[in-house]
Amino acid sequence: MKKVMVFVLSGLMGFGVTAFAQDRTSDPVRTTDVVSRMDRVQRPDRAQQARLQQARVKQARLDQADLTQQRIEQARIKQARIKNARIENARHKQQRIKKARIKEARLDAAGDDSQVNRRRYHKAKQQAKRKRLANQGSGDETGN
């Protein structure tokens, strides 16, 4: 432990302190006493660092009040967009259901031969149109 601390210190300070890195017999009482002293010394530093960190965070929040307001507005806009999308999806779903019901009812009312009936109706309509056009064409020629 002591070697590591010395090497770290020597590396940080920029000069070699290898003379102190010799192995010494460690006394358990001495090591715990050193550790407890280190804890006592470092505790106020940790508390002070925590207070400083909290103060920095608080100041950053105060400085970025506009940014916070922007985030709140963006969140409101996003929620409104999601709500509108849900309403639109529900409306489209209702329209699809309504169209499907109408289609089913029409097919049920027409019966099985609805395709045949539609073709017959279309064919008759086209024949009537051809006759009408033929009559108009022949009537125009004779009328001139």
* Domain locations along the chain: 2-63, 65-110
CA distance 62 to 67: 10
- Runs of H (alpha helix) within the chain: 2-13, 28-63, 65-110, 114-143
Q: pLDDT by residue (tens digit) across 21-61? A: 554 555 555 555 665 666 665 666 888 888 999 999 888 87
- pLDDT, mean over the chain: 75
Give the Å distances, CA to CA, from 98 to 87, 91, 92, 126.
17, 11, 10, 32
pTM score, two decimals?
0.31
69-76: long-range pairs with CB below 8 Å, 24+:
none
